Amino acid sequence: ATPIAMIASIGAAARQGILIKGGKYLEILKRADVLLIDKTGTLTLGRPQITDIVPLDDLSAEEILSLAAAAERDSEHPLAEAVRLTAAARGVPVEKPQEFEAVPGQGVRARIAGREVVVGNSSMIPEGARLPEAVDLLEQGKTLLFVSLEGKIVGMLAAADTIREEVPAAFAQIRALGLHQVELITGDNPQAAASLAKPLGIAYRASLLPQDKIAIVRAYQQQGHIVVMVGDGVNDAPALAQADVGIAMGAAGSDIAIEAAHMALMREDWRLVPELFAISRRTLGVVH
Ligand code: ADP
Ligand code: MG
């Protein structure tokens, strides 16, 4: 495309709320054939709600919530925010942890009143996923946060997030683009991933760590594919940077993600994604 056509396209995109950090990314997007998508905050609103508190030992639901909220006190994860809000709504006391460690893509580890508390998924607390109480909640597509105290599982919390409302319509358009692969890649459990991906008719891979997401981007690239990645979180920044075109969802997403990405959707609207592909294809009708 001529520089003039490119500048016109970047301007047209900007008017719709799409920030593009250079014409070359529109050229790459035109040739892209793999679209990878993060889940939390990207496909969903990223404001999960705690739906269940399940005691598995002698502790009450309030005590489990209190421990979990203390462990999550200093975490920036949307799930941590959900736990803190529920604790506040129920008026349970939340202690300040003596030690705290976030484990990206898995959970948190903290020391509270001298005792070790872990809140996280089955990669941190493997016995959790096998419990009959967990199986039922997993089948509902919920995200589970297992809570352990001094190495012993004492309870679990279930969380549910809301899919962005325009997603089904946007994915009808995305499927019509005829890409080689459209895939949801998430650190959440396989059932939660499937409950979103299946109705959209897209593939999914679950239980991924942040480094697994980068490895998936690289693997597609090594096979000769051109990869677009849409994500929003702090954990997504390396995968967004590794992608041929990284697209940050939303100005409300993390600054780190917007910094790492090549494009940003300042308006959080999935319909802008097929629109971007359309703009790139229109701009570069003639390939030189
Ligand atoms: P996603 O791929 O959906 O963006 P993340 O990589 O941020 O998710 O997290 C993956 C999974 O790790 C979550 O679904 C959750 O099970 C667990 N997890 C991450 N952070 C926390 C936390 N602060 N508390 C509890 N669980 C967490
Ligand atoms: Mg995320």
Note whether residue 95 is domain-resident.
yes
287 pLDDT higher than 90: no
pLDDT of 1 above 80: no
Per-residue tokens: 65: 């919530």
Cross-strand bridge partners of residue 161:
none
Mention every residue, 6+ apart, whose C-beta is less than 8 A from residue 184. Answer: 37, 38, 39, 43, 193, 196, 197, 202, 203, 204, 205
- 108 CB near ligand 1 (under 6 Å): yes
Distance, CA of 143 to CA of 156 (rounded, Å): 10
Question: What's the average model confidence in pLDDT over 7-36?
Answer: 93
Q: Which residues are paired to 147 by β-bridges?
A: 119, 155
102 within some domain: yes
Structure tokens at 88: 């506040």
Pairing of strands 107-112, 99-103: antiparallel
Residue type (1 letter), 172: A
Q: Are residues 13 and 63 in the same domain?
A: no
Asked whether residue 174 falls in the same domain as residue 38, the answer is yes
Examine the fold and report which residue of 127, 144, 160 is the final residue of a domain before the chain moves on: 160
Give residue 286's pLDDT. 47
Residues 156 and 171 in one domain: no
Q: What is the Å distance from ligand 2's center to 210 Cα? A: 9
Given 109, 132, 160, which residue is the final one in a domain? 160
Q: Are residues 139 and 275 in the same domain?
A: no
Give the model's pLDDT for residue 284: 60
Domain shared by 154 and 216, yes or no: no
**Beta-carbon contacts of residue 112 (< 8 Å; ≥ 6 apart):** 67, 70, 71, 95, 97, 98
This model's pTM is above 0.90: yes
Ligand in closest contact with the CA of 213:
1
With respect to residue 288, please indicate whether it lies within any of the assigned structural domains: no
- Indicate the burial class of 8 (C-beta count within 10 angstroms; 0-12, 13-18, 19 or more): middle
Query: Which is nearest to 46 in space by CA: 243, 236, 281, 282?
Result: 236
Mind listing the pLDDT tens digit for each residue in 243-284? 999 999 987 667 888 889 999 999 999 999 999 999 999 886
**Residue 105 within any structural domain of the chain:** yes
Each residue's pLDDT tens digit, 84-95: 999 999 999 999
145 and 97 inside one domain: yes
Mean pLDDT, the chain, whole residue set? 93
Tell me whether residue 213 is in a domain. Answer: yes
Say whether pLDDT at 97 is over 60: yes
Please, which pLDDT band fits residue 288 given cuts at 50, 70 and 90? Answer: very low
Residue 83 has pLDDT above 90, yes or no: yes
CA distance 254 to 257: 5
Task: Give me the catalytic one of 33, 38, 58, 74.
Answer: 38
- Confidence band for 212, pLDDT divided at 50, 70 and 90: very high
Q: Do 24 and 108 have their domain in common?
A: no
CA distance 4 to 9: 9
Q: In what order do the strands lie in the sheet with 263-265?
A: 18-20, 263-265, 245-249, 227-231, 34-37, 181-185, 203-205
Shared domain for 11 and 69, answered yes or no, is no
What CATH number did the domain enclosing 142 receive? 3.40.1110.10
Q: How confident is the model at residue 205 (pLDDT cuts 50, 70, 90)?
A: very high
Instruction: Say if 277 falls within a structural domain.
Output: yes
Q: Are residues 230 and 37 in contact, defined by beta-carbon separation less than 8 angstroms?
A: yes
Same domain? 201 vs 185: yes
Q: Which domain holds residue 102?
A: 49-160
Whether 6 is in the pocket of ligand 1, judged by its Cβ within 6 Å, is: no
Asked if pLDDT for residue 4 goes beyond 90, the answer is no
Verify whether ligand 1 is closer than 6 Å to residue 188 (CB atom).
yes
Mean pLDDT of 125-130: 91
Tally helices (H) and strands (E) across the chain: 11, 13
Check if 38 is active-site.
yes
Q: Report which bound ligand comes closest to the CA of 73.
A: 1
pLDDT tens for residues 174-194?
999 999 999 999 999 999 999
In this predicted structure, the answer to whether residue 96 has a pLDDT above a threshold of 60 is yes
Q: Look at residue 242 in the predicted model and tell me its pLDDT.
A: 97
Q: Which of 45, 103, 106 gets mutated to test ligand 1 (max ligand atoms within 8 A of its CB)?
A: 106
- ipTM confidence score: 0.98
Residues 244 and 226 in one domain: yes
Mark which of 112, 131, 160 sits at the end of a domain.
Answer: 160
Question: 249 C-alpha vs ligand 1 centroid, how far in Å?
Answer: 18
**pLDDT for res 252:** 66
Across 48-74, average pLDDT: 97
Residue 229 lies in a domain: yes
Nearest to 249 by CA among 176, 166, 159: 166
Say which CATH number the domain at 253 has.
3.40.50.1000
Overall average pLDDT of the 229-239 stretch:
88
Report how many domains make up the chain: 2
- Ligand 1, from 47, 65, 79: best to mutate by most atoms within 8 Å of Cβ? 79
Q: Is the pLDDT of residue 166 over 60?
A: yes
Same domain assignment for residues 86 and 214 = no
Do 124 and 33 fall into the same domain? no
Does the pLDDT at position 200 exceed 80? yes
Q: Does any domain span residue 79?
A: yes
